Chains A and B, each alone.
Chain A
Amino acid sequence: MPNIVYNGEMDKRQGKNVTSKVIPELMEKDPKVVYLDADLMSCIGTLNYAKTSDRAIECGIAEANMIGVAAGLAAEGFKPICHSFGIFSSRRCFDQAFLSAGYAKNDITILGSDAGVSAALNGGTHMPFEDMALYSALPGSTVIDVSDATCLDSVIRQCVDRPGVKYIRFSRKDYAKIYEEGSELPIGKAVTLKDGSDVVIFACGLMLHEALKAAKTLADDGIDAAVVDCFTVKPIDREAVAAFAKKCGAVVVAENHNRFGGLYSAVSQVLLEEAPVPAGVVAVEDEFGEVGPQKYLAERFGLTAEHIVTVCKEVIARKKLTK
Chain B
Amino acid sequence: MEAQETKQVKALATKIRLGILDAIHSVGSGHIGGSLSIADVLAVLYGREMRYDPKDPKWEGRDKLVTSKGHCGPAVYATLAVKGFFPYEELKTMNKPGTRLPSHTDRNKTPGIDMTTGSLGQGTSLAAGMAYGERLKGSDCRVFCIVGDGESQEGQCWEAFEFAAAKKLSNLVVLLDWNKRQLDGYLDDCMPMGSFEDKFKAFGFDTVTVNGNDVDALAEALERTRKGGDKPYAIVMDTVKGAGIPDVEATPMNHSIPVGDEQYAKWTAELNKQLKELED
Among residues 241 to 255 in chain B, which have CB atoms less than 8 Å away from a CB atom of chain A?
Answer: none
Q: Write out the residue numbers on chain A whose beta carbons fall within 8 Å of the beta carbon of B124.
A: 65, 68
The answer to the question of B160 belonging to the interface, with a C-beta cut-off of 8 Å to chain A, is yes
A103 touches B116 (CB 8 A): yes
Report how far A258 CA is from B224 CA in the complex, Å: 54
Given the interface pairs A55-B136, A65-B160, A65-B163, the reply to whether A72 lies near B125 with Cβ below 8 Å is yes
The answer to the question of B156 belonging to the interface, with a C-beta cut-off of 8 Å to chain A, is yes
The answer to the question of B219 belonging to the interface, with a C-beta cut-off of 8 Å to chain A, is no
Output the least CB separation between B88 and chain A (Å): 26
Q: Write out the residue numbers on chain A whose beta carbons fall within 8 Å of the beta carbon of B166.
A: 60
Number of interface residues of B (CB under 8 A): 30
A65 touches B132 (CB 8 A): no
B162 touches A68 (CB 8 A): no
The answer to the question of B108 belonging to the interface, with a C-beta cut-off of 8 Å to chain A, is yes
B116 touches A73 (CB 8 A): no
B130 touches A72 (CB 8 A): yes
Instruction: Give the contacting residue for A75; candidates B133, B136, B160; CB below 8 A.
Output: B133
Report how far A300 CA is from B205 CA in the complex, Å: 51
Q: Mark B97-118, 1 if CB is under 8 A from A, else 0.
A: 0000000001110000011101
Q: Mark A40-61, 1 if CB is under 8 A from B, else 0.
A: 0000000000000011010110
The answer to the question of A219 belonging to the interface, with a C-beta cut-off of 8 Å to chain B, is no
A99 (CB) vs chain B CBs: closest residue: B119
A69 touches B108 (CB 8 A): no
What interface size band does chain A fall in?
Answer: 20 to 34
Report how far A75 CA is from B123 CA in the complex, Å: 12
A57 touches B156 (CB 8 A): no
Given the interface pairs A65-B163, A99-B119, the reply to whether A57 lies near B126 with Cβ below 8 Å is no
B118 (CB) vs chain A CBs: closest residue: A99
The answer to the question of B137 belonging to the interface, with a C-beta cut-off of 8 Å to chain A, is yes
A67 touches B107 (CB 8 A): no
The answer to the question of B258 belonging to the interface, with a C-beta cut-off of 8 Å to chain A, is no
Chain B CB count within 10 A is highest, among A59, A60, A72, A105, for A72
Report how far A159 CA is from B115 CA in the complex, Å: 23
A72 touches B126 (CB 8 A): yes
B139 (CB) vs chain A CBs: closest residue: A76
Among residues 142 to 160 in chain B, which have CB atoms less than 8 Å away from a CB atom of chain A?
Answer: 155-156, 159-160
The answer to the question of B218 belonging to the interface, with a C-beta cut-off of 8 Å to chain A, is no
The answer to the question of A271 belonging to the interface, with a C-beta cut-off of 8 Å to chain B, is no
A62 touches B163 (CB 8 A): yes
B134 (CB) vs chain A CBs: closest residue: A76
The answer to the question of A266 belonging to the interface, with a C-beta cut-off of 8 Å to chain B, is no
Q: Write out the residue numbers on chain B whose beta carbons fall within 8 Å of the beta carbon of A34.
A: 136
B129 touches A68 (CB 8 A): yes
The answer to the question of B128 belonging to the interface, with a C-beta cut-off of 8 Å to chain A, is yes
Instruction: Give the contacting residue for A68; candidates B108, B128, B131, B167; CB below 8 A.
Output: B128
Interface positions of B (Cβ within 8 A of A)? 106-108, 114-116, 118-119, 122, 124-134, 136-137, 155-156, 159-160, 162-163, 166-167
List the 3 closest pairs (A to B, CB-CB), nearest first.
A72-B129, A68-B125, A76-B133
What are 18 A-to-B residue pairs whose CB atoms are below 8 Å?
A59-B163, A60-B166, A65-B156, A68-B128, A68-B129, A68-B156, A68-B160, A71-B126, A72-B128, A72-B131, A73-B133, A75-B114, A76-B130, A78-B133, A95-B122, A99-B122, A103-B116, A105-B116
